[in-house]
Amino acid sequence: MKRLLILLLGAWLLVPQLSLAVQSEFDLDPEQEDRFRELTKELRCPKCQNQSIFDSHAGVAADLRREIIRQIREGKSNEEIVEYMVARYGDFVRYRPAFDGRTALLWIGPFVLMAVGAGVLVWQIRKRRRLADAASLDEAQRARVRALLNESEEGRP
């Protein structure tokens, strides 16, 4: 049991080394590697939709990773690479699509909804306050209420 645990621990410690080995296979310098990581996490895999190209095991994600590495080595900028992907797979591949006419609703929508919500809230609070003010009694009315209440109290069996 103990030996098994030690073995497992050893294997677990090896994991980061293994992934490093995979990375170095790409043959990128550390700065390029950072860019590769940044780009592949920023781009969405068209096949398994809620994974980035970095995470996905889909064949097309692997191809796109290879393509990104090739372009980084060629000296393409991040913008050029993202543009390349968008030209082929559409805005969909970007987790944060560029702001334009079609994506405006996506970007502004939540804020508009929030503003509408806040507006409704303020409106309701004001309305309630007005109702509360209207419902308050002056001294004479209060005295009458007390008198009425006492009266009914006395009237009880």
Residues in the site for another protein, rule: CB under 8 A?
A: 46-47, 49, 59-60, 63-64, 67, 86-92
Minimum distance of another protein from residue 104's CB (angstroms): 16
Minimum distance of another protein from residue 67's CB (angstroms): 6
Minimum distance of another protein from residue 38's CB (angstroms): 20
Which residue lies nearer to another protein by CB, 121 or 147? 121
Please count the other Cβ atoms lying within 10 Å of the Cβ belonging to residue 107: 13
What SS3 class is residue 96? Answer: coil
Which residue lies nearer to another protein by CB, 87 or 135? 87
